[in-house]
């Protein structure tokens, strides 16, 4: 089976499971790193430098996946709809489109923007220890955009570098309506990868949809 999805861990897991995977991303740096990992793991993944709002791969797929809350990088509704149009052109007969998005949490969106909160830890590239990451955010409710700052504290240098990102917050019923308005049929919704029922306490909002006819 041919699959189309973004960069990250999912394409590697799917390739390891024996699927033929095409991964797309607009970042050349991320694509180089993804290709490097594939060479190291001896995995065959086709990587394509594309913008999800206007991509053409020249073939159709039985499954297209939008993983890891990537949908939130589409800030404007017109960007989302342009992406949906590309997905529809690339879905084969009875093809499925899966979106993995975060279920918005109001306690996070309403945080004091002057405070920092734990985010994650990861090994330093030079092997000197663990990088500690904290985050702060400021939510613009009028545009549904969350402005996030990630502070990476390095273990050996005593300093930190700051990464800033703006993400669109898509609420569950809003996303359902946008999918239906753009011609998708929602077949199932889950709260996690164990296919638990989606509810207000779910961390994730996993949607399986298709194009009727």
Predicted local confidence at residue 11, as pLDDT = 76
Task: Reduce the DSSP state of residue 69 to 3 states and report it.
Answer: coil
Q: What is the pLDDT of residues 38-75, one digit of tens each?
A: 898 888 889 999 999 999 999 999 999 998 899 999 99
| Strands across the sheet containing 130-140 | 117-123, 130-140, 145-153, 160-168
Amino acid 131: pLDDT: 92
Helix (H) or strand (E) holding 157: none
Hey, which bits of the chain come out as E strands? 2-5, 20-25, 45-49, 61-66, 91-102, 117-123, 130-140, 145-153, 160-168, 185-190, 204-210
Structure-block tokens of residue 198: 């989606």
Q: What is the pLDDT of residue 37?
A: 87
Give pLDDT, residue 173.
Answer: 96
Beta bridge partners of 210: 185
Which stretches of the chain drop beneath a pLDDT of 50?
1
Task: Give whole-number Cα distances, 203 to 35, 60, 192, in Å.
Answer: 30, 31, 7
Predicted structure pTM score: 0.87
């Amino acid at each position: 089976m041919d699959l189309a999805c973004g960069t990250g861990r999912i394409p590697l897991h799917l390739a390891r499971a024996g699927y033929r995977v095409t991964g797309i991303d607009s970042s050349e740096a991320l694509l180089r790193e993804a290709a490097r990992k594939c060479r190291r793991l001896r995995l065959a993944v086709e990587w394509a430098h594309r913008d999800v709002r206007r991509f053409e791969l020249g073939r159709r797929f039985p499954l297209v996946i939008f993983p890891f809350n990537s949908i939130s990088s589409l800030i404007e509704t017109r960007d989302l709809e342009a992406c949906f149009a590309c997905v529809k052109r690339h879905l084969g007969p009875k093809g499925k489109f899966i979106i993995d998005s975060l279920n918005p949490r109001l306690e996070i969106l309403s945080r004091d923007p002057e405070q920092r909160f734990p985010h994650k830890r990861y090994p330093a590239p030079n092997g000197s220890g663990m990088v500690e990451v904290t985050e702060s955010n400021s939510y613009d409710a009028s545009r549904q955009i969350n402005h996030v700052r990630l502070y990476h504290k390095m273990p050996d240098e005593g300093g930190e570098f700051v990464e800033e990102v703006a993400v669109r917050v898509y609420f569950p019923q809003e996303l359902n309506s946008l999918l239906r308005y753009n011609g998708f049929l929602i077949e199932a919704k889950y709260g996690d990868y164990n296919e638990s029922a989606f509810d207000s306490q779910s961390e994730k909002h996993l949607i399986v949809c298709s194009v009727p006819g």
